Amino acid sequence: MATTSVPPAPPKKVNRIGLDITPYKGNKSTLCAGCGHNAISERIIEACFELGIEPHRVAKLSGIGCSSKSPAYFLGAAYGLNAVHGRMPSVATGAMLANRHLIAVGVSGDGDTASIGIGQFIHLMRRNLPIIYIIEDNGCYGLTKGQFSATADIGSKLKTGVVNELPPIDTCALAILLGATYVARSFSGDKKQLLALLKGALAHNGTSMLDVISPCVTFNDHEGSTKSYSYVKDHDAPLEDINFIPFFEEITADYDPGTTTDITLHDGSHLLLKKLGTEYDPTSKTDALRLLTEAHEKGEILTGLFFVETKRHNFLDLINLVDDPLATLPQSRVRPPKSVLDEVMQELM
Amino acid sequence: MGITHVEVTETQPVPEKEKVVNDLSIQVATVNGSGSQTANTVLLRAIFQMGVPVSGKNLFPSNIAGLPTWFTIRASKHGYIARRKEIDFLVAMNPETAEEDVQGLRPGSAVVYDERLNLKRLRNDVVFYPVPFDQLVAPVCPDAKLRRLVRNMIYDGVLARLLGIEMEEIRKALQKQFKKKLKAVDLNFNAARAGYEFAEKNLPKADRFTVEGMDATRGKILIDGNSAAALGAMFAGVTVVTWYPITPSSSLGETLTEYMKRYRVDPETGKATFAIVQAEDEIAAIGMALGAGWAGARSMTATSGPGISLMTEFVGFGYYTEIPVVIFDVQRVGPSTGLPTRTMQGDVLSLAFLSHGDTQHILLFPNSVKECFSMGIEAFDLAEEFQTPVFVMSDLDLGMNNWMADPFPYPERPIARGKVLTAEDVERLGRFERYHDVDGDGIPYRTLPGTNHPKAAYFVRGSGHDETALYTERPDDYVKNMDRLNRKFATASRRVPGPVIQQEEHPDFGIIAYGSSHWAVVESLDQLKQEYGLGASYCRLRAFPFSEQVKDFCRRQRRVYVIDQNRDGQMLSLLRLAVDADDVKKLDSVRHYSGLPIDARTITDAIAAKEVRH
């Protein structure tokens, strides 16, 4: 019998830990075509794949809203939890307390964070829990058909003609003030910047807060909106040109220390920040807050890494947790012996 | 001696046969913030050390300083430790309430009081013992700043003299209280002795009450329910504790923190085998506990009614997503201001079905400090075995007051983590479906985040998921899942602690009670028998869902009185849903809802009014 030979499929590209892209992908997105959130999911997939993050170690956490649906669309081989509205920070905190070996990737929206979830957001930032906290920020509530959220700019207009008159909450400024140790803003349409910032966040030990402006094509992409694709493109003012060099690669390119800051991250990776005109020190809170205030005054959307602090203890070290995950400590390490109960009983007699 | 005029009582010494020995209740009425807690605890402990069964109830306001507070100590040779309505011995230190407190006494009672209050004019059928507190405290406490605190020890001395409590026991109790702070022991003891000596010289005994040594407390401990629950949690192997301060549960978190720092730090590394986090509110507290439970920790929170309200959405989430967590609910009166520091069984009905949608929860009802401990352990096993939130429902009376108990037994059962699959398990099985009822008991298998197997990961979503944890809104998927959750609850009804039943051979009626009401019921059963010749069978509930035994108990009674410490008969309502249709009309109710712990007389009077034909 004659056999026809099938040409072998070209070998799939594998990453540092020998995995191809499949486990990094998620289910098919059910968000609107063109939604900025899908672009962010793609960058998360790329960042994790390229850095060789082990998918089973990732805990994807989210609240409620369009943004919070997106963890289903990336890293299908990771564990996920879609919590209740505005409360992802607490669930993430608990998960990290239980198993400090996990890599927490939290996805929230501007309503989920800056409105209903502002309390938990604030306290998460204070604790410097190791987590990547991404706000997919479109300035409105998509899932309930386009109401304003608390990050909407003054003067921004809804499709219905309603104009926002309240000042926006700047989640980056807030995060810097409160103690987050890696704070950046980006735009879902800026692939290079967002990818570098995500990789930097994955290499950082502490709370990384990324506010990613991510236009809502259905409810907030029209003339008069300050979160539309065209408005953001026109007003995006990148602070620096960012290059991420992972710990497993050498820095080969020459750079000018006068214009480029080299940040060494926790795992040995580097962020090379080449300034684009503005003088600032990314390790200075004062500089960061000044820049953000000035950009607001100028009507610019400043993007880039605003603040990074690599030395502060994260929350798990602060509370002196054992190195092993609490979740799987054996009985011998969590139930004190009978002699302890006897001692306590004796004291109570 | 020039201290003051001394009331010399005109009453003759009490004849021996009229003496009342080891059967009295003492009420100390003070202003809160005046440091009476030490004096009261020491008095309680001194009686306890003399071998006399004793109980103490702190009836305090939601305030730091200036409002009236009462502490009642009951000594009972019969071993009754419920609150007693009647007061035999009043210590009146609070000008605001002294007159009303005195007017409320029965004839023959006694009053020790600050002589400035001039109470003797109020009545002539009670015995008055005026004491010049200020004059007595000055010489024993030169530091004027401390006098306010030490002053109360004087009534301990006066009572010791009048009742026959040994001063050596007062000293021992002070040593227990202050541990190594010897100066504090001496200072307080000197004050007590000044009271004792004053009474010896100036206050001839004129009342009937005495305390005499017994041997009924040997080997027993004194502990409050919150500390007992904290110990239970520690021996359960709790690893994540997230909580927000709220009376009356705060001391649970605080005591647990102390014990964990002592006994749960790895000796080799000096690092903690636990995480305790004071959260920003109760929503965050339960969110953290659920996140930890999902990721595999034995996690808990402790709260009270208002905190429960805030946790409501998350508890429903925990039910649907099947995440283990233990919630200690130390119940109180609520919400907001008013009676937040008073006791109540106020959350029974709301907790049974807490949250929206079809939700139902496992509730445990400890009746004693011993059960606060044992259920504090068992709750963690149940939560993990059934992968669901489990509530341990004590109350302010049980949680914050000191109770006598036998030393707690060391847990014999190893920690039960339930159906958790490791990577090796998943590999061996070749598949994993998070919400598939493999065993027919409604309880699925779970993996913990971080488990390194390509088939082990899953995505947690609220109410809409299929057996593989995938998103679905299909009606048949939803119904199937809800029916399985029901099956799981039915399994739980066979596994939770069953009722404790005391069946009379020919009962006149039955009594069902739960939680801290138990002690008043036990006493009331004796009163009903002794005073009215009525015999009752008694069923003490220990958990919801109710087991078959509870329904069976109701079948066998003619009438059943359900004892509730709430106005609306919350447990009565739950039972009406559970018992046979024919038995619903048998259910009657005794309800106590004044904010004070229930007492036997209230139960006896209420039942006798219905059972005794006049």
B288 contact residues in A (CB cutoff 8 A): 90-91, 93-94, 97
- Chosen for mutation from A79, A88, A124, A318 (greatest number of chain B CBs closer than 10 Å) is A79
- pTM of the entire predicted model: 0.95
Residue-level pLDDT at B1:
38
Q: By the CB < 8 Å criterion, does A15 face chain B?
A: no
How would you label A321-338 residue by residue, b for 16+ Cβ within 10 Å and e otherwise? bbebbbbbbeeebbbbee
User: CB distance A94–B291 less than 8 Å?
Assistant: yes
User: CB distance B295–A84 less than 8 Å?
Assistant: no
User: CB distance A81–B291 less than 8 Å?
Assistant: yes
B448 contact residues in A (CB cutoff 8 A): 99, 327-328
Q: Which residue of B has its CA nearest to A328?
A: B296
What gap in Å lies between CA B117 and CA B446, rounded to an integer?
67
| Chain A: closest CA distance from residue B581 (Å) | 39
Q: By the CB < 8 Å criterion, does A83 face chain B?
A: yes
Cα-based angle B133, B135, B138 (whole degrees, multiple of 5): 100
What gap in Å lies between CA B420 and CA B191, rounded to an integer?
60
When pLDDT is cut at 50, 70 and 90, the band that residue A3 belongs to is low
Sorted by sequence, the CB contacts under 8 Å of residue A258 that are 6+ apart come out as none
Q: What residue has token string 């039915």?
A: B490
C-alpha closest to that of A183 among A305, A313, A331: A305
Q: What are the backbone dihedrals phi and psi of residue A211, each rounded to the nearest 5 degrees, phi first?
A: -95, 110
Contact B295, A95 (CB under 8 A): yes
* DSSP-derived secondary structure letter, B22: S
Residue-level pLDDT at B15:
66
Q: Look at strands B389-395 and B325-331 and give their pairing.
A: parallel
Contact B469, A115 (CB under 8 A): no
What gap in Å lies between CA A250 and CA B141, rounded to an integer?
75
User: What is the rounded average pLDDT of the residues A325-334?
Assistant: 97
Q: Looking at the domain A22-328, which fold is it?
A: Rossmann fold (3.40.50)
Q: By the CB < 8 Å criterion, does A29 face chain B?
A: no
User: What is the rounded average pLDDT of the residues A316-328?
Assistant: 97
Segments in chain B below pLDDT 70:
1-17, 614
- Chosen for mutation from B288, B300, B314, B323 (greatest number of chain A CBs closer than 10 Å) is B288
Helix (H) and strand (E) counts for chain A?
12, 13
Residue-level pLDDT at A295:
93
* DSSP-derived secondary structure letter, B412: -
Q: By the CB < 8 Å criterion, does A349 face chain B?
A: yes
> How many other C-beta atoms can be found within 10 angstroms of the C-beta atom of residue B17?
5
By the 10 Å C-beta count (0-12 exposed, 13-18 middle, 19+ buried), B142 is classed as exposed
| Chain A: closest CA distance from residue B598 (Å) | 26
What gap in Å lies between CA B231 and CA B229, rounded to an integer?
5
Q: Look at strands A182-187 and A301-308 and give their pairing.
A: antiparallel
| Chain B: closest CA distance from residue A199 (Å) | 21
A80 contact residues in B (CB cutoff 8 A): 457-460
What are the strands, taking DSSP E only, across B383-508? 389-395, 402-405, 420-421, 446-447, 459-460, 500-502
- Tens of pLDDT, residue by residue over A129-142, are 999 999 999 999 98
Q: Looking at the domain B223-405, which fold is it?
A: Rossmann fold (3.40.50)
B410 contact residues in A (CB cutoff 8 A): 338, 341
Which alpha helices (DSSP H) does B508-599 contain, by range?
Answer: 518-532, 548-556, 570-578
Choose the closest CB to B460 out of A81, A97, A326: A81
C-alpha closest to that of A214 among A41, A90, A341, A346: A41
Q: By the CB < 8 Å criterion, does A54 face chain B?
A: yes
C-alpha closest to that of B311 among B270, B361, B345: B361
What gap in Å lies between CA B327 and CA B379, rounded to an integer?
9
Type of residue numbered A98? A
- SS3 assignment, position B537: strand
User: What is the rounded average pLDDT of the residues A91-120?
Assistant: 97
User: CB distance B408–A71 less than 8 Å?
Assistant: no
* DSSP-derived secondary structure letter, B7: P
User: CB distance A326–B414 less than 8 Å?
Assistant: no
| Chain A: closest CA distance from residue B229 (Å) | 13
B471 contact residues in A (CB cutoff 8 A): 72
Chain B neighbours among A 176-215 (CB < 8 Å)? none
* DSSP-derived secondary structure letter, A329: -
- Tens of pLDDT, residue by residue over B93-102, are 999 999 999 9
Contact B509, B559 (CB under 8 A): yes
Q: By the CB < 8 Å criterion, does A345 face chain B?
A: yes
Residue-level pLDDT at B9:
46
What gap in Å lies between CA B325 and CA B287, rounded to an integer?
10
Write down the architecture of domain B16-210 according to CATH. 3-Layer(aba) Sandwich (3.40)
Type of residue numbered B580? D
CATH no. of B500-611: 3.40.50.920
C-alpha closest to that of B588 among B562, B608, B554: B562
Residue B204 CA neighbour count, 13 Å, CB half: 9
What residues form DSSP beta bridges with B459?
A: A80
Sorted by sequence, the CB contacts under 8 Å of residue A70 that are 6+ apart come out as A29, A31, A37, A38, A40, A41, A62, A107, A136
Choose the closest CB to B289 out of A56, A84, A94: A94
User: CB distance B457–A76 less than 8 Å?
Assistant: yes
Q: What are the backbone dihedrals phi and psi of residue B216, each rounded to the nearest 5 degrees, phi first?
A: -105, 0
* CA of residue B525 relative to chain centroid, distance: 21
Q: What residue has token string 């002589």?
A: B115
What residues form DSSP beta bridges with B127?
A: B110
| Chain B: closest CA distance from residue A112 (Å) | 14
* DSSP-derived secondary structure letter, B121: G
The residue extents of the domains of chain B are 16-210, 223-405, 420-495, 500-611
Q: What share of chain A is helix, strand, coil (3-state, %, to 5)?
A: 35, 20, 45
Q: Given a cut of 50, is residue A317 above it in pLDDT?
A: yes
Do B223-405 and B500-611 show the same overall fold? Answer: yes
- SS3 assignment, position A142: coil
User: CB distance A83–B269 less than 8 Å?
Assistant: no
What residues form DSSP beta bridges with A137?
A: A213
Q: Which residue of A has its CA nearest to B414?
A: A331
C-alpha closest to that of A172 among A314, A285, A312, A265: A285
Contact B469, B461 (CB under 8 A): yes
User: CB distance B452–A56 less than 8 Å?
Assistant: yes
- SS3 assignment, position A10: coil
Mean pLDDT of chain A: 94
User: CB distance B450–A79 less than 8 Å?
Assistant: yes
User: CB distance A320–B271 less than 8 Å?
Assistant: yes
What gap in Å lies between CA B364 and CA B516, rounded to an integer?
12
Residue-level pLDDT at B6:
47
Choose the closest CB to B460 out of A82, A333, A340: A82
Chain B neighbours among A 291-320 (CB < 8 Å)? 316, 319-320
Q: Which residue of A has its CA nearest to B289?
A: A94
B461 contact residues in A (CB cutoff 8 A): 82
Q: Which residue of B has its CA nearest to A78?
A: B457
Q: By the CB < 8 Å criterion, does A326 face chain B?
A: yes
What residues form DSSP beta bridges with B421?
A: B447
| Chain B: closest CA distance from residue A263 (Å) | 30
The residue extents of the domains of chain A are 22-328
Q: By the CB < 8 Å criterion, does A99 face chain B?
A: yes
Residue-level pLDDT at A253:
75
| Chain B: closest CA distance from residue A136 (Å) | 20
C-alpha closest to that of B331 among B444, B263, B249: B249
Chain B neighbours among A 220-279 (CB < 8 Å)? none
Cα-based angle B328, B334, B337 (whole degrees, multiple of 5): 125
A90 contact residues in B (CB cutoff 8 A): 279, 283-288, 291
Residue-level pLDDT at B62:
82
- Tens of pLDDT, residue by residue over A158-213, are 988 899 999 999 999 999 999 999 999 999 999 999 999 999 999 999 999 999 99
Q: By the CB < 8 Å criterion, does A1 face chain B?
A: no
* DSSP-derived secondary structure letter, A238: E
Sorted by sequence, the CB contacts under 8 Å of residue A151 that are 6+ apart come out as A110, A114, A135, A137, A139, A168, A169, A170, A171
- Tens of pLDDT, residue by residue over A234-269, are 999 999 999 999 999 988 877 888 889 999 999 999
* CA of residue A2 relative to chain centroid, distance: 56
User: CB distance B288–A80 less than 8 Å?
Assistant: no
Residue-level pLDDT at B4:
46
Choose the closest CB to B408 out of A54, A319, A341: A341
- SS3 assignment, position B352: helix
What residues form DSSP beta bridges with B276?
A: B241
Contact A240, A164 (CB under 8 A): no
Q: By the CB < 8 Å criterion, does A348 face chain B?
A: yes
| Chain B: closest CA distance from residue A190 (Å) | 29
> Which token pair is A45?
């997939």
User: CB distance B411–A95 less than 8 Å?
Assistant: no
Residue-level pLDDT at B60:
84
In angstroms, the first-to-last Cα distance of chain A is 91
Contact B513, B541 (CB under 8 A): yes
Choose the closest CB to A98 out of B263, B281, B292: B292
- Tens of pLDDT, residue by residue over A25-77, are 999 999 999 999 999 999 999 999 999 999 999 999 999 999 999 999 999 99
Choose the closest CB to A336 out of B264, B285, B471: B264
Choose the closest CB to B222 out of A78, A119, A348: A348
